[in-house]
């Protein structure tokens, strides 16, 4: 009760002080439909000398995120000429449909295709367990995922790329070992969190013998791998980086464990328009 009186008094004081805080520009109008955030009351003793800015989300400047681009929220100060505050809203996930029938050929890796129903980004999805060559061994002997035993192990995937692709985002689909007791919290690591902590990546991808530059520095949790059951995180599609072009015809992708924290993968995605 006492607090609400202070709050009201402060709000009145704040509005009375507009003339001295507006830098001659006067009060910025509150856009239609905007809801004002509550005034943060300072103590009644000092409120006579303090100006409290009131921020309001401006729906006319809000940009909704899509699966192709980030969005933003914009807050305007409604009682001073302070610069707008912007909050970036992360991209939404694509809305994938059902995978195609698997495309297979003798001696080649199998893959599926898919398409986002919203932005029509397409995907070629390589079956990570369908390598044409493996160096080292798969730690996961259940046949469910690919998890290399040691650093330097790699798998190669080859097939006939049906068409040339440009601006291709490469991602892996899988999960990391995750123990809730904190003994193996791989969800807090990412593509770059090597034990040596030297800034190099845990895994590497080569496409037609060209290294993919991995640009994603998020943790696996930030990429969607949250705590799951039995020491496994949930599955997530983790975007690694983008390669400018992939030619039609003979295609080869090499996936290598460099210093992996028990990354278990089932698919490698190539996403393009």
Distance CA 249, CA 268 (A): 18
Residue 220: count other Cβ atoms within 10 Å of its Cβ: 25
- Work out how close the CB of 123 gets to Zn ion at its nearest, in angstroms, rounded to a whole number: 10
- Work out how close the CB of 116 gets to Zn ion at its nearest, in angstroms, rounded to a whole number: 3
- Work out how close the CB of 62 gets to Zn ion at its nearest, in angstroms, rounded to a whole number: 20
Closer Cβ to Zn ion, 216 or 219, answer by number: 216
Query: Could you write out the DSSP letters of every residue in the chain?
Result: -HHHHHHHHHHHHHHHTHHHHSTTS-PPPPPTTPPBPPP----TTTGGG-----EEE-TTT-B---SSS-EEEEEEESSS-PPPEEEEEPPPPP-B----PPB--TTS--EEEEEBTTT--EEEEEETT--SEEES-BS-TTSSSB-BSSTT-EEEEEEEESS-EEEEEEEEEEEEBEETTTTEEGGG-BTT--TT-SS--SEEEEETTEE-------BTTTTT--B-STTBBPPEEEEEEEEEEE-SEEEEEEEEESS-SSEEEEEEEEEE-
Closer Cβ to Zn ion, 97 or 152, answer by number: 97
- Work out how close the CB of 55 gets to Zn ion at its nearest, in angstroms, rounded to a whole number: 32
Closer Cβ to Zn ion, 116 or 263, answer by number: 116
Binding residues (CB under 5 A) for Zn ion: these are: 67, 94, 116, 118-119, 121
- Work out how close the CB of 163 gets to Zn ion at its nearest, in angstroms, rounded to a whole number: 19
- Work out how close the CB of 70 gets to Zn ion at its nearest, in angstroms, rounded to a whole number: 13
- Work out how close the CB of 96 gets to Zn ion at its nearest, in angstroms, rounded to a whole number: 8
Closer Cβ to Zn ion, 255 or 272, answer by number: 272
Closer Cβ to Zn ion, 79 or 121, answer by number: 121
Closer Cβ to Zn ion, 114 or 185, answer by number: 114
Closer Cβ to Zn ion, 148 or 269, answer by number: 269
Distance CA 184, CA 24 (A): 59
Distance CA 144, CA 173 (A): 13
């Amino acid at each position: 009760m006492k607090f609400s009186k202070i709050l009201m008094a402060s709000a009145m004081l704040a509005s009375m002080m507009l003339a001295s805080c507006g830098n001659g520009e006067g009060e910025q109008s509150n856009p239609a439909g905007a809801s004002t955030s509550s005034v943060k009351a300072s103590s009644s003793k000092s409120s006579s000398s303090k100006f409290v800015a009131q921020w309001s989300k401006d729906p006319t400047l809000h940009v909704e995120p899509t699966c192709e681009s980030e969005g933003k929220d914009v807050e305007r100060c409604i009682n001073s000429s302070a610069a707008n505050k912007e909050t970036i809203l992360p991209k939404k996930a694509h809305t994938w449909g059902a995978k195609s029938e698997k495309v297979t050929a003798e001696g080649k890796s199998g893959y599926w295709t898919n398409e986002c129903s919203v932005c029509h980004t397409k995907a070629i999805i390589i079956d990570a367990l369908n390598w044409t060559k493996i160096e080292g061994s798969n730690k996961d002997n259940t046949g469910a995922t690919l998890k290399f035993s040691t650093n330097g192990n790699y798998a190669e995937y080859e097939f006939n790329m049906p068409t040339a692709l440009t601006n291709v985002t490469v991602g892996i689909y899988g999960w990391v070992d995750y123990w809730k007791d904190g003994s193996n919290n791989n969800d807090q690591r990412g593509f770059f969190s090597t034990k040596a902590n030297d800034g190099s990546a845990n895994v590497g991808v080569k496409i037609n013998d060209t290294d993919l530059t991995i640009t994603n520095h998020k943790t696996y949790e930030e990429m969607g791998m949250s705590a799951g059951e039995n020491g496994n995180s949930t599955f997530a599609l983790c975007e690694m980086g983008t390669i400018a072009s992939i030619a039609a015809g003979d295609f080869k992708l090499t996936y290598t464990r460099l210093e992996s924290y028990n990354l278990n993968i089932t698919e490698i995605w190539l996403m393009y328009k």
